[in-house]
Structure 1
Amino acid sequence: MRESTQTVPLALHGGPKTVQSEFAWPIFDEREVNTVAELVRTGQWGNPDCAGLVAEFEAQFAAYCGTKYAISCVNGSVSLRLALMACGVRPGDEVIVPPYTFIATASTVLEVNCVPVFVDLDPDTYNLDPAHIEAAITDRTRAIIPVHFAGLPCDMDAILAIAQRYNLRVIEDAAHAHGAEYRGRKLGSIGDLGSFSFQSSKNLTSGEGGMVITNDDALYRTVESLRNVGRLPEGQWYDHFNPGCNYRISPLQAGLLIEQLKRLDDQTRQRHENGLYLDSLLGAIDGIRPMSRGDAPLVHARHLYMFRYDNRVFGNLPKAEFVQMLAAEGVPCSGGYPHPLYKQPLFQNRNWMCYAIPDSVDYTDVHCPVAERACSDEGIWIFQHALLGSRTDMDAFAEAIRKIQQAVNR
């Protein structure tokens, strides 16, 4: 590790931290505590024993997103799987996904016996690049899963136009995008289905949980059945019409989410505004490039604040060392994924459970250069709860980066 020669040493080398604030998450008060306590006292902890609260949250979330339906489930991975199943994919069908996202976006495709096809990123947004999608479409392609990564909306106009041209389903992975908007519409409500996660790091959280939203009556009926052991409203309790399982959330989770939803708009606004302010600060630092917001009117959920790092302007300091220094200065941050999804052992080794992938598909030959640069050299994340800090905190984040730059270039 390089040693600093500046008067005030880097925090990693024993100097004071630039950022003094602590950033708590989740944010809650007695409202959440009382909601859970009251539920516990009822003794009705299960769903459907106390399904009314779950239905209440689903109705509120659907109204918030501007859709007819919202169907809750145990987590965001299951919500993707349910959405894929509802779309009618068959074994061997292909689903287009980005390589820079959490594993579930691709592994759920395998779980429904389909084949993930990786398409590279737009270098300015790190979202799925529509310019590369058509070249990846074959006669087996059935769906596209655009991921609104970090809470930044994908270019949905271009993606929907391609999907319509080739009769493909669009499942929005909005796990990072609670409260985000594209051209006045909430993310998740634009494609055929939208998938959300309420995992502990997410902008809307109950520790775990997921949601599928849609405006399509038939898709709603199928997802609702699949998450409830294959039941249908016209059947009896022990009548099972579809191959579903019990993927229901509990009333305890629903109660927490109802209270957390009340906070979401204010928190989204604060993250959005702090993100714009950070763009102006970091954009003035040589070697740091904030992600583009594109041309469409949008609200960025800022589940992550992402920027691109150029080590040539930081004394050729490797990204991993820069992130270590930045974290030591008190900035909640990460270097993100170590490699694109297709380089995961799951895809490189093709163990016996990957039987849906035909022999003609060899992920060792896949190369998405933008995603690879994002993982190895460029992409850096600041976590969403840090965006709930003050403008003084944002100033300190920028100062920490300048401090590192000065230190390594001495």
Structure 2
Amino acid sequence: MKNKSRRAFLKSTGIVAAGTLLTPSILSATDRRTPAILGGSPVRTKPWPAWPIWNKDTDEKIVVDDLRSGIWSRASLVTQFEQEWAAYIGTKRSLTVVNGTNALIASLLQMGIGGGDEVIVPPYTFIATVAAVLATGAMPVFVDTDVASWQIDAGKIEAKITPRTRAIIPVHILGLPADMVRIMEIAKKHDLVVIEDACQAHGAEIDHRRVGSFGHAGCWSFQNSKNLAIGEGGAITSNDGQFMDKCYSYHNYGNPYGSVVGQVNAGTLIAGNKLRLTEYQAAIGLGQLKRLQGETEKRNANAAYLRGKLSKIPGVIPYKLYDNVTKAAFHLFPFRYDKEGFKGLPRADFLKALNAEGIPCSEGYAPLNKMPYLENAFGSKNYRKMYTAAELDMHAFNDRNNCPLNDKLCNEEAVWFYQSLLLADKPDMDDIVNAIEKIHANAGTLNMKK
């Protein structure tokens, strides 16, 4: 379980849990008390909702019509999706790109972030957040996690700001909004750029304003597991027209666009890339977008119900939303596991027992500030040219970027449920609660037989 990747977990939760056993409604009381991992019958054998959702009647025509047209590269459907996505988020502009990682890279580069700069990031996020920083040549600076909210601890950001700090990337991880009001106040005070990594937070809101509209830019992913799934794809949102013109130029090889202009026939103007979305991807996205709001409302309703039930179980510590959060996206439903509430049962054994009950779950991320990719990047020719040996010393880097609360969250406490479980019905949430209560009641036995 420890080494199971996030995306492997997300994929596995879209398939049916073992379906060959009896349903709980006809199990004997004894079977219900015996954990499935010890030979009893599981609480749940019913399949969970599959993801992504495809509705042939509503989704297929626009995609098939595009495929038959032969207009597959960027054209009117991409523009339509960008306009609808900007309207949904509440920004003036949106630009689609090939994925969320490149949305982050393009945003950083067009904000002028590069070698010698420092970018403040959380340690509890997907690798793409920090990979984007490294792709620019900048230095990631990690700020510990507020474990109650699972977000970057805004109260610890200012202590990490130096004269070389240029940007903050708050990540609305798991679809729970970060403390954006406080982060924007800090950024304004220190003249820093804020790029929101909203790749897991489609539809999340702070004071009824959608995330991805607070920072200088918001970055999105439409990868297959996301709450708006296209397969692959991403977007940048912003109210800064000049910045968006630069991003558009960059995503199209650096050719002229909008305010990015030069002499007639001057050719390519900036060092760019090719990140254009296809028409058929946009067609899929337009269909998914029609359902996003309704799905988000259902996830929120089920999450609130589930949180209320789980909060009564000793050893289960549900997430906490900041007071100004009016809606979360719940790309993942998290809680912290305290083994002392389960008679010392290690988290790994709790997860195995819960999976055996028909409830797909995961331990989530490993500490992002302690992975080998950092040493690999710092050993590259470019980093050795841009930074001193002292700045690249991994022992010193680890000391500067120690995040003890995040270490405990990753290594001992975190438990995830995937968003598609929250698209089931309220009685299905009771299956999750019943399975955890069953494990809780048998925790001593499970701990002795591990």
In structure 2, the residue matched to 1:25 is: 51
Write the distance in 2 (CA, Å) between the matches of 1:347 and 1:378.
24
1:394 to 429, 436, 439: 429
Write the distance in 2 (CA, Å) between the matches of 1:33 and 1:106.
36
- In structure 1, give the amino acid aligned to 2:357: E
- In structure 1, give the amino acid aligned to 2:326: L
In structure 2, the residue matched to 1:342 is: 369
Write the distance in 1 (CA, Å) between the matches of 2:180 and 2:265.
40
CA displacement, residues 342-385 of structure 1 (integer Å, 9 cap, x when unaligned): 11101245432671554333333232011101110111110001
The 5 A counterparts of 1:89-104 are 89-104=113-128
- The question of whether the paired residues in 2 share the 8 Å contact of 1:231 and 1:237 is answered with no
Secondary structure in structure 1 of the residue aligned to 2:114 = coil
CA displacement, residues 18-71 of structure 1 (integer Å, 9 cap, x when unaligned): 122322001111132322221111122222xxx100000000000111101000
- In structure 2, give the amino acid aligned to 1:53: L
The 5 A counterparts of 1:1-16 are 7-8=31-32, 9-16=34-41
1:237 CA displacement? 9.0
The 5 A counterparts of 1:161-176 are 161-176=185-200
1:359 to 389, 393, 406: 389
The 5 A counterparts of 1:31-110 are 31-47=58-74, 51-110=75-134
Whether 2:158 is the aligned partner of 1:134: answer yes
The 5 A counterparts of 1:9-408 are 9-19=34-44, 20-30=46-56, 31-47=58-74, 51-233=75-257, 234=261, 239-337=267-365, 339-349=366-376, 350-352=378-380, 355=383, 356=386, 358-361=388-391, 362=394, 363-365=397-399, 366-408=401-443
1:327 CA displacement? 1.6
Structure 2 unmatched ranges of 5 or more:
1-29, 446-450
Write the distance in 2 (CA, Å) between the matches of 1:11 and 1:22.
18
Change (3 A) 1:348 1:312: farther
Change (3 A) 1:357 1:146: farther
Write the distance in 1 (CA, Å) between the matches of 2:109 and 2:310.
43
My pick for the range that moved more, 65-74 or 17-26, is: 17-26
Secondary structure in structure 2 of the residue aligned to 1:333 = coil
CA displacement, residues 271-309 of structure 1 (integer Å, 9 cap, x when unaligned): 011111111000010000101112114201000000000
Write the distance in 1 (CA, Å) between the matches of 2:217 and 2:387.
25
- The question of whether the paired residues in 2 share the 8 Å contact of 1:110 and 1:354 is answered with no
- In structure 2, give the amino acid aligned to 1:299: K
Question: Number of matched residues?
Answer: 401
- The question of whether the paired residues in 2 share the 8 Å contact of 1:21 and 1:393 is answered with no
- The question of whether the paired residues in 2 share the 8 Å contact of 1:92 and 1:358 is answered with no
Structure 1 unmatched ranges of 5 or more:
1-5
Secondary structure in structure 1 of the residue aligned to 2:442 = helix
In structure 2, the residue matched to 1:3 is: none
- Which structure has the highest helix share of the two? 2
Normalization by structure 2: what TM-score?
0.86
Write the distance in 1 (CA, Å) between the matches of 2:173 and 2:252.
29
CA displacement, residues 56-106 of structure 1 (integer Å, 9 cap, x when unaligned): 000000011110100000000000001101111131100000001001111
CA displacement, residues 140-176 of structure 1 (integer Å, 9 cap, x when unaligned): 0000000001111111111011000000000000011
Write the distance in 2 (CA, Å) between the matches of 1:266 and 1:11.
35
- In structure 2, give the amino acid aligned to 1:284: K
Write the distance in 1 (CA, Å) between the matches of 2:198 and 2:379.
29
1:260 CA displacement? 0.3
Write the distance in 2 (CA, Å) between the matches of 1:358 and 1:271.
48
My pick for the range that moved more, 8-17 or 198-207, is: 8-17
Secondary structure in structure 1 of the residue aligned to 2:390 = coil
- The question of whether the paired residues in 1 share the 8 Å contact of 2:204 and 2:210 is answered with yes
Change (3 A) 1:64 1:12: same
Change (3 A) 1:142 1:311: same
Normalization by structure 1: what TM-score?
0.94
Change (3 A) 1:206 1:323: same
In structure 1, the residue matched to 2:10 is: none
Write the distance in 2 (CA, Å) between the matches of 1:193 and 1:161.
16
- The question of whether the paired residues in 1 share the 8 Å contact of 2:31 and 2:41 is answered with no
Change (3 A) 1:401 1:237: farther
- In structure 2, give the amino acid aligned to 1:15: G
- In structure 2, give the amino acid aligned to 1:281: K
Change (3 A) 1:319 1:358: farther
Over the residues paired in the alignment, what is the CA RMSD in angstroms?
A: 1.6
